[in-house]
Structure 1
């Protein structure tokens, strides 16, 4: 890095705000993927003007700049480019306002999701996006990936739960998008364009988030089925009736078998698929809602439908699902974890296709996820130290993506694209759409310094 650029970055962030020693920079060179790259420097910003100043320096010197929260992403989107700089938002972690009257919160991007949830709960509200990593992921990361979680089936993703943003473009210009009201149609929707763009268009410095009142009551159900087709039929029936569950989670036979090796499942023998269902709402209505959803879950393939009445029973019902991740980490700590979406009515066809690919390529595949919106986490259990297995896994993964597109699905539901899926997106996006997206990127970031190489393959 030129000395002039280093000094300008140091001036931009002030004393103690810039790291340049490689030993200090390495912790900011990787995320929750297996990718890593040493940044030239790490700049810690504390306000929007510092962000703008850092961007202007990098733009002037054509230095790649990658934004980072706490590095929980799984696709390499926060791994810096060679010779690049990381701008860390971990010090921009203030909750600026909780406004119950207008049902909104104003936060900086470094706020941890769980911290926002606790602050909102004190006023009787919550922010619906609830990734599994909520205890350690930041709001800025949630917005960058449009990352949601189980509640998205009822309450939507960050795009549906964000009113407006303040951000900095690739030239260092500050802009404001969106509104502070629940309605507004002035201009193009830049808010939802920036959300999900993985830091390639602009760097978010403040977000106005839409809050939702906490439900008065919740009921939890667990349904077990003989096979995936019965479970998928139940999912379609549940989503077709008027009561939308706040969570509708799914495990296939391979996932259930995996957990059986390490944990007492508490589910009947012969279970080939499992649904975890939660319903929330007013206290005087929730029991009736649970009955309606339970009725929709019943079909000829149902083995057992259990309804929890207290906290201990709820914990017992969730025990199977919570045991899955530790089991997977034990069997394949470096598994390939893909996050794809197919239409709800095609879940069974998709799982059948995955079972065929598993046999064809001799790769164990375990599937679970958010069945209510067809968001399936496809886990290829592989050993990265086995070159032959990794070669077969690569061919298998390519076929998985082909199957997703063939079924009318999308290659990423909430994990983003980053580097891991970048070279596959042209299977889903047509050339006209790709050209328009590249033109939008140039408009926001003419010199291509913001997270270059992520999201879209090179032209």
Structure 2
């Protein structure tokens, strides 16, 4: 019996089907936008995960109508179709695990309509996130989703995984910042979903359903995005704490007072130790000797209100005031072990860049320590972050796998990094066992297995641990309605 992610025929991807598909597509696409060249097929068979499977055919559409042609042809010949942008995902979501046709969307990058007076922009989804930000910033706006890879990732990729980045803590995820979209279902039919207004409850919410579906229900070709005015001013607070318990208590305080931070990023003690030992210039990072956690807290708003907001957030970061510490000042003591060991506020872009140096030093440090990192983005309730970090430390010791953690503390989105040598089979096996324990721990704490990286192919078989069979059955039914022949991104998102 076939599942919703399997093609409903034994002929999928057969040489005859691929030849027939290629012949069909050549009548609609010029040679420079349709390729069977081995190097191209190889290049578009990977993303930023460890997975690789070469495509059989690669197509570069320029319009919604051309995507319709591609889907209809793939369906007619029972050939799997995988959509991709720039391949920055880490879960194998854009890897054509069954071969077939890969549709590369990054040439569909036009602005279709920009209406600042309505705070919206309609674009083709192959546009790079950073380019979108540049365009709307000229009119005084920004689009809140800003993943770390925003200089490379496409808006379509953001939509596919509901990727949001650090500012989701204040401004919401991608779903909260999209008004409507246009897509192509696995039948080849055009889907128009959502509205151009911030309110609307007519029909079912197909917009939110398609966002985060990783291309398994439809190919999103156009999106109407909700824009936010750029803040007048911002500042950045860097606070070091003795351990994750103290930092987590600070995060809870920060999220339970009126002045909402724009972002709260954290780095755990294992990562700080690596930076002390391996960073090129560790003294410049100003990491206290006894620090076991770091919080980076961004504050934004109107220039007139920023000072009072910053004071409230600084007080929350430092903890409740006591007779021994009557003002919002850092300095842990025997009487107040949870206060920050040091706290610095930056107001100018140059000062903020200096404070961010500690966070930016982490990625090159990880590359220096291990040739490969397995990067998972689990989410737990904020109050349970210390429990998770403690258990991750124990998992690391049990399996002799170095684990470092950082991420978006304000919404409990933890990037768990297992550092291994992929050429060592023992390390690979230990990492797989450790990763299963990581996921079980996350679920036991009321968490979820992915916040923004997606499920793709890497986490697909773990989904049964989180989603009940009855709910999976409903999801299978939804998949069959949108994609009855199972051609869209097979082998991803949900298990059979």
TM-score, scaled relative to structure 2 = 0.91
Q: Aligned residue for 1:292?
A: 312
C-alpha separation between the residues in 2 aligned to 1:57 and 1:310? 54
Q: Aligned residue for 2:294?
A: 274
Q: Aligned residue for 2:486?
A: 448
2:378 matches 1:362: no
* Shift in Å, 1:313: 2.0
2:360 matches 1:322: yes
C-alpha separation between the residues in 2 aligned to 1:96 and 1:407? 44
SS in 1 for 2:299: strand
C-alpha separation between the residues in 2 aligned to 1:374 and 1:278? 16
Q: Aligned residue for 1:421?
A: 459
C-alpha separation between the residues in 1 aligned to 2:111 and 2:404? 39
SS in 1 for 2:184: strand
2:43 to 27, 30, 46: 27
C-alpha separation between the residues in 2 aligned to 1:286 and 1:446? 53
C-alpha separation between the residues in 2 aligned to 1:13 and 1:410? 42
Q: Aligned residue for 2:115?
A: 99
Which has the higher mean CA deviation after the structures are superposed, 289-298 or 17-26?
A: 17-26
Q: Aligned residue for 2:168?
A: 152
Q: Aligned residue for 1:371?
A: 409
Which has the higher mean CA deviation after the structures are superposed, 168-177 or 293-302?
A: 293-302
Q: Aligned residue for 1:188?
A: 204
C-alpha separation between the residues in 1 aligned to 2:123 and 2:219? 14
Q: Aligned residue for 1:435?
A: 473
Equivalent pairs, count: 458
C-alpha separation between the residues in 2 aligned to 1:355 and 1:72? 28
C-alpha separation between the residues in 2 aligned to 1:128 and 1:222? 22
1:52-451 equivalent positions in 2, closer than 5 A: 52-261=68-277, 262=279, 263-264=281-282, 265-299=285-319, 300=336, 301=338, 302-451=340-489
TM-superposition CA deviations, 1:185-225 (whole Å, max 9, x none)? 00110001000000000001100000000000001101111
C-alpha separation between the residues in 2 aligned to 1:303 and 1:103? 42
Gaps of 5+ in 2: 1-14, 320-335
TM-superposition CA deviations, 1:307-362 (whole Å, max 9, x none)? 11322321221111010011011112311111100000100111011111111111
C-alpha separation between the residues in 2 aligned to 1:308 and 1:137? 29
Q: Which structure has the greater CA radius of gyration?
A: 2
CA contact (8 A) 2:98 2:490 kept: no
2:473 matches 1:457: no
* Shift in Å, 1:97: 2.1
CA contact (8 A) 1:200 1:451 kept: yes
**Larger RCO of the pair (alpha carbons < 8 Å, separation 6+):** 2
CA contact (8 A) 1:12 1:54 kept: no
Gaps of 5+ in 1: none
* Shift in Å, 1:56: 0.5
* Shift in Å, 1:15: 4.3
CA contact (8 A) 2:52 2:97 kept: no
C-alpha separation between the residues in 1 aligned to 2:47 and 2:99? 17
* Shift in Å, 1:381: 0.8
RMSD, aligned α-carbons: 1.0
CA contact (8 A) 1:353 1:403 kept: yes
* Shift in Å, 1:104: 0.4
CA contact (8 A) 1:219 1:287 kept: no
CA contact (8 A) 2:378 2:451 kept: yes
C-alpha separation between the residues in 1 aligned to 2:99 and 2:362? 39
